[in-house]
Amino acid sequence: MERSRVAGEAPTRTRILLASLSAMVAETVTFPIDLTKTRMQLHGSHRIGAIGVVSEIGRQEGMMGFYKGLSPAIIRHLFYTPIRIIGYENLKGFIVRSEGNNSESLSLATKALVGGISGVMAQVVASPADLVKVRMQADGRLVSQGLKPRYSGPIEAFTKILQAEGVKGLWKGVLPNIQRAFLVNMGELACYDHAKHFVIEKKISGDNIYAHTLASIMSGLASTTLSCPADVVKTRMMNQGEKAVYRNSYECLVKTVRFEGIRALWKGFFPTWARLGPWQFVFWVSYEKFRQLAEARRVGNVLRFVERVEIVAQTN
């Protein structure tokens, strides 16, 4: 079977490890942008731009304030990213084998559907960690206002949510989360895969960092445009405590549009895009480089094994 331009030929367990490692690197590098986006979405009708939010965080919380909620974000990606990436690669490979074609014969629509399904599976598993991350990011705002934060760390946040809201509380906002994950991965995975293939096929660039950068920019724009409304709804639903402002994601959507206008659904668009582009660039470059190193090591091990077998055969 022809090698996918997204997937390498490394074993699944190796790709899971490499995807997790690459996601940790990307999340750490881009987390301050994600925090800015979340704070903008939680400001409600009070209009404040990205620069205003960044200034507010720096002034009131210091540099460490930009990494409030990083640990649950990394924990989330240890589950979320490997499931969606490896799920996409394996589902695409299954379809290719079923149809008897090569990986690049799949249409953009098919890749989009596969990407969306992979994102949904990953988000269902990772939703509790995502909830803790959003709550801790929102806590930074309480501290800046002189109020006591709800949680001192991710373990306490997880425990308190479980005690006060039950097991179901850990999956609060899971529906808009799933909707967002479907849209994000439909745009991100399919567009990255398709865009990278287009760049290489048209000889705009070889399979290198330049191609990865172009594909990341295009996929970041597509996934942000599709997912931003669901992201706003998800963030507001997940930040609710015991006293819920919205009964469900539909009511949240309706109230947001009614009181803040349709543009509020794309609140935080540029910070989201500014994060997705670099995140995808760092992730895909890291992932593909790590995969190439793993492949080189595996090939080297195979060659050494063959050499030993030949030596033994010649000796006998």
Confirm whether 142 is domain-assigned. Answer: yes
Confirm whether 214 is domain-assigned. Answer: yes
3-state secondary structure of 2: coil
User: Who wins on pLDDT, 267 or 69?
Assistant: 267
| CA atoms of 105 and 88, how far apart (whole Å) | 16
**Neighbour tally for 236: CB within 10 Å:** 22
pLDDT value of position 6: 42
Share of the chain above pLDDT 90, in %: 11
| CA atoms of 140 and 43, how far apart (whole Å) | 13
Q: Is the pLDDT of residue 46 over 70?
A: no
Tokens 């990436």 belong to which residue? Answer: 85
- Domain span holding position 211: 12-277
Confirm whether 202 is domain-assigned. Answer: yes
Confirm whether 302 is domain-assigned. Answer: no
Number of separate domains in the chain: 1
Structural tokens at position 17 = 């490890």
Indicate the pLDDT class of residue 218, thresholds 50, 70 and 90.
confident
pLDDT value of position 69: 74
Share of the chain above pLDDT 70, in %: 83
Model pTM above 0.75: no
Confirm whether 16 is domain-assigned. Answer: yes
Confirm whether 48 is domain-assigned. Answer: yes
Instruction: Output the domain CATH number for residue 94.
Output: 1.50.40.10
pLDDT value of position 314: 62
Structural tokens at position 152 = 């001192």
Confirm whether 44 is domain-assigned. Answer: yes
Confirm whether 314 is domain-assigned. Answer: no
Indicate the pLDDT class of residue 84, thresholds 50, 70 and 90.
very high
Q: What is the mean pLDDT of residues 262-277?
A: 80
